[in-house]
Amino acid sequence: MKSFDYARAATASEAVGSFRPGTMYLGGGTNLVDLMRLGVARPDHLVDVSRLPLADIEQVRDRLRVGAAVRNSDLAAHPLVRSRYPALARSVLAGASGQVRNMATVAGNLLQRTRCPYFQDVTRPCNKRDPGSGCPAIEGDHSGLAVLGASGACVATHPSDMAVALAALDAEVHLTGPGGDRIIPIPGLHRLPGDAPEHDTVLQPGDLITAVELPEPPPGRQVYRKVRERASFAFALVSIAAVLDVRDGVVGECRIALGGVAHAPWRAERAERALIGGPATGEAFLAAAEAELEQARPLPRNAYKVPLARNLIVRTLEELAA
Is residue 214 pLDDT above 80, yes or no? yes
Whether a cis peptide bond, with omega within 30° of 0, leads into 187 is yes
CA distance 57 to 208: 18
**The CA-based dihedral angle spanning residues 214, 215, 221, 227, taken in that order and rounded to the nearest 10 degrees:** -30
Say which amino acid occupies 112.
Q
* DSSP string over 33-46: HHHHHHTS---SEE
Binned at pLDDT 50, 70 and 90, residue 98 comes out as confident
pLDDT tens-digit readout, 223-248: 999 999 988 778 999 999 999 999 99
pTM exceeds 0.75: yes
pLDDT tens-digit readout, 248-275: 999 999 999 999 999 999 999 999 999 9
Is residue 2 pLDDT above 90, yes or no? no
**Mean of per-residue pLDDT scores for the chain:** 96
What does R_g of the chain's alpha carbons equal in angstroms?
19
Mean local confidence (pLDDT), 152-167: 98
pLDDT at 232: 77
